[in-house]
A and B are shown apart, each in its own frame.
With several copies, the nearest count.
Chain A
Amino acid sequence: MYMDINDIIKPENLVYTKPRLMNDNPMHYCPGCSHGVVHKLIAEVIDEMGIEEETIGIAPVGCAVFAYNYIDIDWIEAAHGRAPAIATAVKRLNPKKMVFTYQGDGDLAAIGTAETIHACNRGENIVIIFINNGIYGMTGGQMAPTTLEGMKTSTCPYGRNVALNGYPLRIAELVERVDGTCYVTRQSVHTPASIRKAKKAIRHAFENAMAGKGTSMIEIVSTCNSGWKMTPVKANQWMEENMFAKYPMGDLKNV
């Protein structure tokens, strides 16, 4: 039976669309950047949990600094690396709110290491969304603590050399060891299946925070095709082939 496209495109047949809480502002991200996908998941989870009026997001310094332009909730922009400290205060002063941070690997794993470890150690009832794209996207592709060995960036143009630059740092493995975390997981958003899993993880983390179970960290191994100097499609492939070995997918802790 032949069916015209216009017979299908009807409200009652809708199965997927841009999340309600994501507004129409065009996003500034590069084509194919993982940030957009994660933004959508967060918007969906907040919407599905019905907590949009109670949610406060903490946006980092990094490419996601403008997250506040795209998801229609209240936001606080944080100084570089300090989002967990800010979230700590916001949550403690407003214990019934849902408070989450959204941070890059430069933000969270370099300058913000102390704030991250200590918020987790205090077991703040917040969610930390950690976008690990192995590079400083915003500032032009410098080395991050999570940059892989041999990977080229503008501050290791000949490839990361551990003797000079140290080892790729696995933050999730650290915060897993800290008593205040209740849920530490590593996810990705490069395929429909991984996206569905990542969304479940985010939802679980948000529920933990609302239930006062402690700190949840969701690391999302991501691409920065611009910093990596690849097409988005190639970047996803490269990520699977290279990043996942150092940053394996799955839950590290779930109590």
Chain B
Amino acid sequence: MAKIKGAVVVNKERCKGCELCVVACPSKVLALQPAEVNDRGYHYAFMQNPDACIGCASCGLVCPDGCITVYKVKL
């Protein structure tokens, strides 16, 4: 079985830091920036643990603001 690897890009300025992607990720890839905020004052999401990403798109699906783009490769 081919191994799958993924990566996501979060639109930092669009993100509202709702945390829904964080809890939806099966691989605990994502987290909210603990201190830094974007221009609108939100602690935005980022890949804290990028290696674990399997490109399942769960984060993208649940993001209400359409901030997440997901990429996937089969190795």
Q: Contact: A15 with B55, CB < 8 Å? A: yes
Chain B 32-75 interface residues, beta-carbon cutoff 8 Å to A: 40, 42, 47, 50, 55-58, 60-73, 75
Chain B: which residue is nearest A225 at the CB level?
A: B18
- A1 interface residue per 8 A CB criterion: yes
Q: Contact: B23 with A36, CB < 8 Å? A: no
Q: Contact: B24 with A27, CB < 8 Å? A: no
Contact with B along A82-93 (1 / 0, CB 8 A): 000000000000
- Residue from the list A15, A35, A236 in contact with B70, Cβ < 8 A: A15
- A196 interface residue per 8 A CB criterion: yes
Q: Contact: B61 with A196, CB < 8 Å? A: yes
Chain A 12-55 interface residues, beta-carbon cutoff 8 Å to B: 13-19, 22, 26-27, 29-37, 40
Given contacts A15-B57, A35-B64, A195-B61, contact A232 B19 (CB under 8 A): yes
Chain A: which residue is nearest B26 at the CB level?
A: A192
- Residue from the list A5, A10, A15, A233 in contact with B50, Cβ < 8 A: A5
Q: Inside 8 A of A37's CB, which chain B residues have their CB?
A: 61-64
Question: Could you tell me the distance between the alpha carbons of A3 and B65 in the complex, rounded to whole angstroms?
Answer: 29
Given contacts A16-B60, A17-B60, contact A192 B24 (CB under 8 A): yes
Chain A: which residue is nearest B57 at the CB level?
A: A16
The main secondary structure of chain B at its interface with chain A is mixed
Q: Contact: B71 with A10, CB < 8 Å? A: yes
- Residue from the list B5, B47, B62 in contact with A3, Cβ < 8 A: B5
Given contacts A9-B9, A15-B57, A34-B64, contact A236 B20 (CB under 8 A): yes
Question: Could you tell me the distance between the alpha carbons of A34 and B61 in the complex, rounded to whole angstroms?
Answer: 12
Q: For chain B, which range describes its interface: under 10, 10 to 19, 20 to 34, or 35 or more residues?
A: 35 or more
CB distance from B71 to the nearest CB of A (A): 4
Most chain B CB atoms below 10 A, which of A32, A33, A196: A32
Q: Contact: B16 with A32, CB < 8 Å? A: yes
Q: Inside 8 A of B17's CB, which chain A residues have their CB?
A: 31
Chain A: which residue is nearest B42 at the CB level?
A: A31
Question: Could you tell me the distance between the alpha carbons of A20 and B22 in the complex, rounded to whole angstroms?
Answer: 24
Given contacts A16-B61, A34-B64, contact A232 B20 (CB under 8 A): yes
- A191 interface residue per 8 A CB criterion: yes
Q: Contact: A192 with B20, CB < 8 Å? A: no
- B14 interface residue per 8 A CB criterion: yes
Q: Inside 8 A of A36's CB, which chain B residues have their CB?
A: 63-66
- A245 interface residue per 8 A CB criterion: no
Given contacts A232-B18, A232-B19, A236-B20, contact A191 B64 (CB under 8 A): no
Most chain A CB atoms below 10 A, which of B9, B20, B24, B63: B20
Question: Could you tell me the distance between the alpha carbons of A29 and B16 in the complex, rounded to whole angstroms?
Answer: 10
Chain B: which residue is nearest A24 at the CB level?
A: B14
For the complex with contacts A15-B71, A37-B64, 4 further pairs of A-B residues with Cβ separation under 8 Å are: A8-B72, A13-B73, A14-B71, A18-B67
A-B contact pairs, 10 of them (CB 8 A): A8-B5, A8-B72, A14-B71, A16-B70, A30-B16, A31-B16, A35-B64, A36-B66, A37-B62, A232-B20
